[in-house]
Amino acid sequence: MAERVDPLTKTLRSDEGVLRLAHGLALSERFHFYLLVCETPRVASAALDVLAVEVAAAREEPVRLVRIDPHSAHAALDRPIPFDLLAEQVLARLVSPAPDERAPGVIFVVDASRALTQDDEGWSQLFQRLNEQRNGIAKALAGPLVLVVPGRLEAAFAHGAPDFWSIRSLAVVVDAPPGVKPEAVEPAEERRERLVEPAPERAWSAAEIEAEVAAARVRLAEAPEDESALSSLIVWLGRQVQHEMDRGTLDRALRAAEESLLLERRQAEKHPGRVEWLHDLSLSLDNAGDVYRARGDLERALTAYDESLSLRRRLLALDPARPEWLRNVAVSLDNVGDVHSALGDLERAIMAYDESLSVVRRLLALDSARPEWLRDLSVSLDNVGHVHRSRGNLERALAAYDESLSLRRRLLALDSARPEWLRDLSSSLNNIGNVHRSRGDLERALTAYDESLSVVRRLLALDSARPEWLRDLSVIFDNVGDVHRSRGDLERALTAYDESLSLRRRLLALDPARPEWRHDLAASLSQHAITAEAAGRPADALSFWRAALDELDDLTRRPAPLEAWNTAAATCRAEISRLEESLQPHDARRSDPPPA
């Protein structure tokens, strides 16, 4: 059967501009930059199809065309594409391509053909960043780069990236041939409903990341003043931090986070007025704070988060209406509130959370349907709910949790398979179950916990070894066990506690020094102790209390132990003393009177 060829593609096979560009790409044995101007995505796709065929024919070998279309990862299609997404999808990819994308035969294509006028601001910002990173991109790519833009963005690129513009080897304009109908503009409501699945994030192995970090260090050593080499190293260190945090290996995460932070500080000191370096420094401070908090070093975490918040307030003062800077301030306030809450300073925690809540509501006044801002609002509501619950105000806690749950169900209606939104839903259900349990409504508590349990099991079907999901599961099992114990069903309670204990031992095997997980294990052992005694097995209860104290003693001997660890250890000692006395034979406990 003869191959069916799209009429537009067939026409472009004889287009002079497309053929000149194909000839240039075929001869490019190292980095060269080309510009392809197409007014519609349809013309752009057809032109790229022709280029792939023509270059392969000229080279007499297959050609790999790596097409980066950031609009495929932009879910809210009727909203402007944010600069942060463009930087993540385009800039980071060009500065640090995958190892298999560095072959001379690879052609990178950055496709902006789907950009609408509302997206021009984000693309203009990206063009400026591309201009700053020109040298680094030229070194990172072994083959040619093609930028595909509509005509109006060609002018924006020339203005925003003059250095990049100056190195172009060829600029080609491809118009739709006569007789080809222009593409209809999709109505906004249809664009809203037609969500595009985000492009899956590249899964890097530990060995790949280490190799890229090492290579980036070499490039920086060879050219210490090359900002693109420095940026590349910082990008890879950031990936290493996240990778090690996901694996639970906090010592390695800490080394990467502190190295990245040191490099960011040096760069910010060299360019004190450059807003992008201040922004990047705030991100590195957040990463460092996350690692410190996971290690139980809350004072250092608070110092890092406070500095990040200060930088973000400084940036926001330059442009008080800039959405991404407003959002960054809200994130920092949540981080600061989390640490104050963990330290037991509920007044300062609620002050931070309330301010974060007001900032996010201000964002949603600009766009009430923006998914990431709706999620931010749900997080702030959860945080406020936690403080109200800690203070004993269960009605206000439940109101905050209910509003958060409603938002999370709304988000999942947009994308029912998105892992972070599924985890958010599980967390909200768990929070609501906790309030119902505190109010004595055990049936409603168990209903919420059961739904939360099913959501986490759904997540673990995607990745059965994800540490944070395993911990979520252990927390829910503890809560389910508490409900069964309150109802007097000790066997079902022990079954749930056994599941939790097994999960926590599995997590601790990944990182035996992680404070949070040691405290979790002690909590599970304590639950077993209480239930064993209630079931008439005091000797078993004593063994569990002693095992819990062993874990807590290790924590309380660390520098600046949390008050919660000291309190839990004191409880264990009191219970051990009580049980030891009760288990002694009666005669051994009776004191003989002193001799006359």
CA–CA separation, 470 vs 460, rounded Å? 8
Question: CA of 480: how far to CAs of 3, 460, 556, 566, in Å?
Answer: 61, 18, 28, 26
Q: What is the pLDDT of residue 228?
A: 67
Return the DSSP state at 70: G
Q: Is residue 531 part of a domain?
A: no
Return the DSSP state at 79: S
CA atoms within 13 A on the CB side of 379: 23
Strand locations in 2-105 (E): 33-38, 64-68
Q: Is residue 27 part of a domain?
A: yes
Q: Are 366 and 79 in contact (CB under 8 A)?
A: no
Q: What is the pLDDT of residue 579?
A: 94
Scan for tokens 């109505």, then name that residue: 187
49 DSSP β-pair partners: none
Q: What is the pLDDT of residue 193?
A: 36
428 has a pLDDT exceeding 70: yes
Q: Is residue 150 part of a domain?
A: yes
Q: Is 145 helix (H, G, I), strand (E, B) or coil?
A: strand
* CATH classification of the domain holding 143: 3.40.50.300
Q: What is the pLDDT of residue 6?
A: 62
CA–CA separation, 143 vs 55, rounded Å? 13
Q: What is the pLDDT of residue 9?
A: 77
Question: CA of 258: how far to CAs of 283, 332, 511, 516, in Å?
Answer: 12, 19, 20, 21
CA–CA separation, 354 vs 333, rounded Å? 9
Q: Is residue 359 part of a domain?
A: no
Residue 207 CA from chain centroid, whole number: 21
Q: Is residue 159 part of a domain?
A: yes
Q: Residue 491 corresponds to which tokens in the numbers above? A: 């066997």
Return the DSSP state at 296: T
Scan for tokens 């409900």, then name that residue: 483
CA–CA separation, 572 vs 528, rounded Å? 12
Lowest mean pLDDT among 30-44, 200-214, 320-334, 476-490: 200-214
Q: Is residue 443 part of a domain?
A: no
Q: Are 464 and 472 in contact (CB under 8 A)?
A: no
Name the residue among 162, 91, 164 with its Cα closest to residue 122. 91
CA–CA separation, 349 vs 334, rounded Å? 9
Name the residue among 436, 426, 412, 484 with its Cα closest to residue 456. 426
Q: What is the pLDDT of residue 190?
A: 40
Name the residue among 363, 403, 406, 409 with its Cα closest to residue 383. 403
Number of domain units in the chain:
1
Q: Residue 493 corresponds to which tokens in the numbers above? A: 């309670």
Q: Is residue 525 part of a domain?
A: no
199 has a pLDDT exceeding 60: no
296: alpha, beta or left? (left if phi > 0; alpha if psi -120 to 50): left
Q: Is 294 helix (H, G, I), strand (E, B) or coil?
A: helix
Rounded mean pLDDT of 45-63? 86
Quick: pLDDT tens for 91-150. 888 888 888 787 777 899 999 998 888 888 889 889 988 887 887 788 888 889 999 998
CA–CA separation, 62 vs 45, rounded Å? 19
93 DSSP β-pair partners: none
Percent over 70 (pLDDT), the chain: 91
258 has a pLDDT exceeding 80: yes
513 has a pLDDT exceeding 90: no
Quick: pLDDT tens for 339-369. 999 888 999 999 999 999 999 999 888 888 8
What's the chain's Rg over C-alpha atoms? 29
CA–CA separation, 384 vs 422, rounded Å? 21
Q: Is residue 391 part of a domain?
A: no
Residue 100 domain boundaries: 7-181
CA–CA separation, 320 vs 342, rounded Å? 31
530 has a pLDDT exceeding 70: yes
Question: CA of 338: how far to CAs of 335, 471, 491, 567, 577, in Å?
Answer: 5, 18, 36, 20, 35
